[in-house]
Structure 1
Amino acid sequence: MVYIKNAKIYTGTGKVIEGTIFIKNGKFADIGSTINIPEGARVVDVNSKIITPGLIDVHSHLGLTEQGIGQDGQDVNETSSASTPQVNAIDGINPADTGFEDARRFGVTTVQVMPGSANVIGGEMVVVKTVGKVVDEMIVKNPSGLKAATGENPKRVYGSKGKMPTTRMGLAARLRENLIEAQNYIEDRKTNTCGRDLGLENIAKVLRKEIPLRVHAHRADDIATVLRIKKEFGINLTIEHCTEGHQIADFIAQHDVRVSVGPTMSPRSKTELSDKGWNTILTLSEAGIPVSITTDHPVIAIEHLMTSAILAVKNGFSEGKALEAITLNAAKHIGVEDRVGSIEKGKDADFVIWNGDPFDLRSTIETTYIEGKVVYQK
């Protein structure tokens, strides 16, 4: 048990409380301005410093694309086939990747780790805490979604091999084919007329709405295709990146989806990023679409998640919404808001102590806690 007193607490829910956080068994047991601290209790006095929830990156390849070891650390794309729904990110994550240490140092306590965007369907993803030596002990939710991708990446990877998909038409057709095959598989399994198929079982989870399809889509026409498929198959999905989402924000708003935006700090390295800008997240939010901010680590390093939020504010996004986009809204995006994303009673005690205003780029993190334990100390 520990009491964190004299804190300015940004709860992540829009509330700011000046007072004390009581942590018990790795959870927030109480938060308030009038908490009585028993004599002899372990107390940390933060002297009016700001505390925020642990930051959350909803779209990363942390541990799948390891830093500093080149090709040997590349486990993000299984490119042996255009669709690989049978793979799971959990089997490729290396907890020893230095990116996890960077995440803790910069206040990121939870990440969703997913396969890359080379494939029409890339495999299952997982939500993990950013501390641990064995990935099984880091899991918050597994699986947390099934990855799919549209646009330039799968076209380039398989078009260069002369394999489908070579066009956007072929890509959408292949995704439909995979979904229909899984529909048939569900019916066949009811009557035991086919054996088990791991890939089709994973797609079946999407059709049963057990997990969402999370689709890489930058261009407005690709986003429209994804939403068309959502309607056709009655599935839940999120739009990942949504770079040209500002062009069709009102249309997206009609489809009950969450979006992750980013990595906006990246250069315009390919055609479908030509209209990239900080206006995207502002326009989508104003249209009533729930938004999260992502680094897409290692496209932009995980330590720049807060930097991305600061730049969004610099370009017109409110501080409150920017914080939510990397805390509570992010937790909702990946389906773990019951455990993380805000400083509320009963949730995991994941939080960050800052030495100044989090939205001042000169401020640094003094301490990062995950489940009530110090995982980084400046």
Structure 2
Amino acid sequence: MREQGDTEKKDIFIEMGKISSVDDNLQPDSSFITMDMEEHYVLPGFIDCHTHLGIIEECTGKIGVDNNETSNAVTPHLRGIDGINPLDIGFRDALKSGITTVMVGPGSNNVVGGLSLATKTAGHIIDQMLVRNPVGLKIALGENPISTYGIDSKCPVTRMGTAALIRELFMRTQDYIELKSQGKVKYRDLRLESVIPALIGEIPLRAHAHRADDIVTAIRIAEEFNIHKLVIEHGTEADLVKDYLKEREIPVAFGPMLTPRIKMELKSRNYKTAINLVEAGINVALITDHPYNSIDQLRTIAALTIAEGLIPSQALRALTSNPAKILGCGEKIGTIEIGYDADLVVFDGEPFNLNSKIHYTFINGNLVYSLK
């Protein structure tokens, strides 16, 4: 099944974990292992570009919740990689659900949460599972930081306080960069060093923002500091400013959708928002925000969005090539092309028919899940 929505019967040749050929009637020699997929659908492995998989562990209680370092509201120096347990049961669910790559990052209680990463979902040593690290610096606007710190009369108490903390950090980092260029820095500052990649455009600023005004605040701050890479996370009201986002080519990691409206910012949660963003020409990826939606619900979210009017080929892109681009990994994952990682998922029927079963999941050409 191609991104355009049509299907083709093809042979896929895999060497050294990469797709080396996609063609009709390939004839490998007897030294190669062959698998006949019969009339099954072979798709790129799904990608969830916003999760807390393994950093909020299942079945552990509070001891396995490592997503928010609430000792300080501004923690840019935290690295998601240091909090992930790749043996978390959620990784197994991801493989069973055809999800081969995820973004994992800190939570949204802090104004600045730290650095996120992209990882494959098979393995037991996270350093050997990485696709790219880091893939973004997390900031959070809206209810979460205010609810976490403002309740104790600590900054931020207001949205103004949240924005001020972000600006203060970015200004200090700009000064630090200037001092480094002059050779005047005697001791490295881990907090400021962690911000530099976002300020100079090596990684995106990833902004947790549900409300339209918070989305615009994220854009305002990014433009003040000449930050050219920005991703809106969640984007519940993003369609209210869709033209503003489109003009600036800002992508949206949209969701979660299956959680109750447990806070004011989710009041406008609607599948139509994702459709409006796609129709506006914005790069949209559907997300679970695991564990707020379970990782195995990603395909369900896509199917429900299709039921509301999203074209299936657009839904496929929202789970494959779109999130790959958002993660800065669009040159190696997210599509079935020569030179790409051999991350594949095999269905026995239409992929977005929830009665269809996943028979196989491959990561880097290795069979990591089989229904049988």
Q: Distance in 2 between matches of 1:12 and 1:142?
A: 27
Please state how far the C-alpha of 1:252 moved relative to its aligned partner: 1.7
- 1:42 is displaced (CA, Å) by 2.1
2:59 aligns with 68
> Could you say which residue in structure 1 is the equivalent of 2:194?
202
Conservation of the 8 A alpha-carbon contact between 1:13 and 1:324:
no
Q: Do the aligned residues in 1 keep the contact of 2:102 with 2:118 (CA within 8 Å)? A: yes
Displacement of 1:17: 2.4
Measured after TM superposition, the shift of residue 33 of structure 1 is 2.1
Q: Mind listing any 5+ residue stretches in structure 1 that lack a counterpart? A: 1-9
* Aligned counterparts of 2:250 and 2:126: Cα–Cα separation in 1: 29
Amino acid at match of 2:220: R
Matched, 1:271 2:264: yes
Q: Deviations over 1:9-33 (max 9, x none)?
A: x244666321211111111111122
* In 2, Cα distance between equivalents of 1:188 and 1:68: 47
Matching of residues 118-133 of structure 1 within 5 Å: 118-133=109-124
Q: How far 1:267 moved relative to its partner?
A: 1.2
| Aligned-partner Cα distance in 2 for 1:227–1:289 | 15
Aligned length: 369
Letter of the structure 2 residue corresponding to residue 77 of structure 1: N
Q: Distance in 2 between matches of 1:218 and 1:157?
A: 17
Instruction: Read off the aligned partner of 2:211 and give its amino acid letter.
Output: R
Q: 1-side partners of 2:7 and 2:116: how far apart?
A: 33
Aligned match of 2:282? 289
2:358 aligns to what? 365
SS in 2 for 1:17: coil
- Alpha-carbon displacement from aligned partner over 1:293-330 (angstroms, at most 9, x marks no partner): 00000000000111111111001100001010010011
Query: Which residue is 2:13 aligned to?
Result: 22
Aligned to 1:87: 78
What is the root-mean-square deviation in Å for CA atoms of aligned residues?
Answer: 1.2
Query: What corresponds to 1:165 in structure 2?
Result: 156
Counterpart-to-counterpart distance in 2, 1:90 and 1:161? 30
Q: Measured at CA, do residues 210 and 314 of structure 1 come closer, stay the same or move farther in structure 2, by a change above 3 Å?
A: same
Structure 2 residue 249 is the aligned partner of structure 1 residue 260: no
CA distance in 1, matches of 2:30, 2:6: 29
1:4: which partner in 2? none
Aligned-partner Cα distance in 2 for 1:26–1:11 = 21
Post-superposition offset of 1:41: 3.7
Task: Determine whether 1:233 maps to 2:221.
Answer: no
Which runs of 5 or more structure 2 residues have no equivalent in the other structure? none
Query: Where do 1:1-378 residues align within 5 Å?
Result: 10-12=1-3, 16-39=7-30, 41-194=32-185, 195-235=187-227, 236-378=229-371
- Give the Cα separation in 2 of the matches to 1:339 and 1:41: 23
Give the superposition deviation at 1:83.
Answer: 0.5
In the TM superposition, what whole-angstrom CA distance separates every residue of 1:205-247 from its partner, at most 9, and x where no partner exists?
A: 1111111110000000000111111211111110000000111
Asked if the contact 1:13/1:342 (under 8 Å) is kept, the reply is no
Distance 2:161 2:116 in 1: 24
Deviations 1:249-281, CA, capped at 9 Å, x for gaps = 112212221111000121111001000000111
Q: Give the deviation of 1:289 after TM superposition.
A: 0.9
Q: Distance in 1 between matches of 2:301 and 2:264?
A: 22
Q: CA deviation at 1:160?
A: 1.4
C-alpha offsets along residues 326-375 of structure 1, whole Å, 9 cap, x if unaligned? 10011001111111100100111000111111110111100100011110
